[in-house]
Structure formats: C-alpha cells, structure tokens
C-alpha cells in the first residue's frame, strides 16, 4: 500500500452478520422481519478517517431492506466530510462483509468489514 491509502477494519457481531446476510440473500423470514423498515437502513456501521492534511471523513455502511417481499435488499457505502456532506459513494451491492473503497483525489480509504470472532 502506498502513503495515500488508509485502511481500517470494522467488526460486526456474528449474529448481526448472519442476520444481514440472510436478508441480503432474500430469506423470506428475514425479509418479513424488516417489512416495516423498507427503504430505511437496518444496519449502520461507521468508520472515521483522518487524512494526512487533517481532513476528517466518515465512512458509513448500510444494509437497506427491500421495498416489498419480492424485492432485494442491498448495501451501500457513503463517505461524508466533517460537515456531513456526501463526498462519494459505492454502487449498491449484495454483501456487507468484505472490502469497501472510496477514492477522493489522490487518497484511497479502505474499510474491511469483518465478523468479530
């Protein structure tokens, strides 16, 4: 990794990871459990980043349930500045665990989302 890349790890509980993965796979029980939350995040994870120049960012990761029982849940990552302005975001995805990258100018911010052992 170069000097312009910062990597952090966000750990989530195994039970929460299993629950979110079931929702993302379309498990009918999980979808019904969150039916009243369609369009609103059911998981929020946040990771702060401080650049070498002193700028603060925060990466927010969410799992969004489907709008109806036939839809699909998805995940998204958004990078905000210290004033709460959206700087960049990821494409919707169907996994919460793994590597998430944000690029701002010459800097790259990586969050590895892992299950807490």
The model's pLDDT over 12-58, given as tens digits with 9 standing for 90+, comes to 999 999 999 999 998 888 888 887 777 788 899 999 998 878 889 99
Distance, in Å, from the CA atom of 32 to the CA atom of 71, rounded to the nearest integer, reads: 11
pTM: 0.87
* pLDDT, tens only, 46-64: 999 988 788 899 999 999 8
The total number of structural domains in the chain stands at: 1
Range of the domain at 105: 5-115
User: What's the confidence (pLDDT) of residue 1?
Assistant: 53
* pLDDT, tens only, 67-109: 766 778 899 999 999 999 999 999 999 999 999 999 998 899 9
The Cα angle at residue 111 between residues 117 and 40, in degrees rounded to 5? 90
């Amino acid at each position: 990794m170069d000097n312009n890349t910062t990597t952090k790890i966000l750990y989530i509980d195994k039970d929460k990871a299993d629950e979110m993965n079931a929702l993302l796979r379309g498990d009918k029980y999980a979808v019904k459990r969150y039916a009243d939350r369609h369009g609103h995040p059911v998981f929020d994870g946040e990771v702060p980043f401080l650049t070498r120049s002193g700028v603060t960012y925060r990466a927010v990761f969410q799992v969004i349930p489907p709008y109806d029982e036939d839809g699909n849940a998805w995940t998204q990552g958004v990078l905000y500045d210290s004033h709460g302005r959206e700087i960049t975001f990821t494409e919707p995805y169907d996994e919460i665990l793994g590597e998430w990258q944000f690029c701002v100018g010459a800097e790259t911010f990586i969050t590895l989302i892992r299950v807490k052992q």
